[in-house]
Amino acid sequence: MNRTLRVVIVAVTVVVAIVLVNLVPAAESPSTRAKADDLSFYQTSGATTPYPLTSEKEVRNVILCIGDGMSSGQIALASAKVGAKLHIERMPVTGLVQTRSANSRVTDSAAAATALATGVKTKNGMIGTAPNGQAYRSILELAKAAGMATGLVATSTITHATPASFGAHVRSRSSENAIAEQLLANRVNVLLGGGRKFFLPRSDRDSARKDNRDLIAEARQAGYMYVTSEQELRSTQHPYVLGLFQLGALTTEPPEPSLSTLAHEAIRLLRQAGQTAPTSNSGFFLMIEGSQIDSACHEHNARRAIRQTLLFDQAVQAVIDFALQDGHTLVIVTADHETGGLSLSRADEKNPDTQVRWSTKGHTGSPVPIGALGPGAAIFAGTQDNTDIPSKTAQLLNIRPFPQLAQ
């Protein structure tokens, strides 16, 4: 092959690559794009002032809201799209969170959520354990041991890395069969999300299990109410609820309950469970994850990133509405890591695809924001490590020692 021919081949390859890369957004189906553009679910308040601080000291309930892959770029993009401040942006106490894991400047969700749950740094991919595999009790497990009701809500499978780190201990995030078993064995009061396939026996055609354990039947026998629709969720009064609304991750489209509805219903159920607990006023611990901001940013899909951020913000609004009314609820809003290296560039506000720049297909090691509201919120101000968040929460709940090895 002569030199001229080689140059031509390389040039053609480069052109084809550029064309293909630029075709990626156009490869989205029209219906998918229309859904991503439909933001009618989101109502802005028009308010710009921070939510009020409180002088109340007693923390009875803790609600930790995690936007997977969400940092200031994702928030700013969504805020620009709706032309108003998000609820996340109105938290009265704010700071930054450093996110590195035990073995990498760039964390994954498993190591980050393990830090947020147990106060211990671990290697990427590990769930609820130190790098040597030793399990540490999560803030959720310790809250439960202290008599509080507990809940996990996610738009991913409920066995995915973030919710898993609060109620399971495995060496690999891919061990979702074992995670499903441990979430139930841990008697988490409210489990709402996707991932039914990890609870079905292998004999079921939709199963992703490697054995024939029917975890839904086991959950029922253990006293859980099992629900699969918004109507069933809204009508249950049970202190233990397993809500699995899809085989895999949620679609985040109707007729599924929205993340905001899941948050609202989880709070209702946990309040009821707390009131019927052996100790009165025992309160609850709830983790809510907007799981799919991360996916949108891995795909460099700005429209979907906006929609997922607004769905998460809508859930945060439901949490704040409850907390302000309750007066004894600490709300923490943060992220596990940033995804995509998203930054705002050209100011074409009608077209988010041209408004953003992405610096990576993966995660970044940039710090993520934290906002807090309610009693004890002030100690989350400033820059902190992700392991500090459960440590400070444990301090406010009088849980000692923390971190704590599992027996």
Which stretches of the chain bind another protein, using CB under 8 A?
Answer: 13-14, 16-21, 24, 104, 106-109, 124-125, 156-157, 160-161, 173-174, 248-249, 292, 294-295, 298-299, 360-363
Closest distance to another protein from the beta carbon of 297 (Å): 10
Burial profile 389-401: b = 16 or more Cβ within 10 angstroms, e = fewer: bbbbbbebbebee
User: Is residue 109 annotated as a catalytic residue, yes or no?
Assistant: yes
Closest distance to another protein from the beta carbon of 212 (Å): 22
CB 245 within 8 A of CB 22: no
Nearer to another protein, 253 or 280 (CB): 253
Nearer to another protein, 129 or 236 (CB): 129
Nearer to another protein, 86 or 249 (CB): 249
Given the residues 71, 72, 101, 109, the one annotated as active site: 109
Closest distance to another protein from the beta carbon of 277 (Å): 35
Closest distance to another protein from the beta carbon of 80 (Å): 24
Closest distance to another protein from the beta carbon of 19 (Å): 8
Nearer to another protein, 25 or 50 (CB): 25
Nearer to another protein, 335 or 372 (CB): 335
Q: Which residues are catalytic?
A: 109
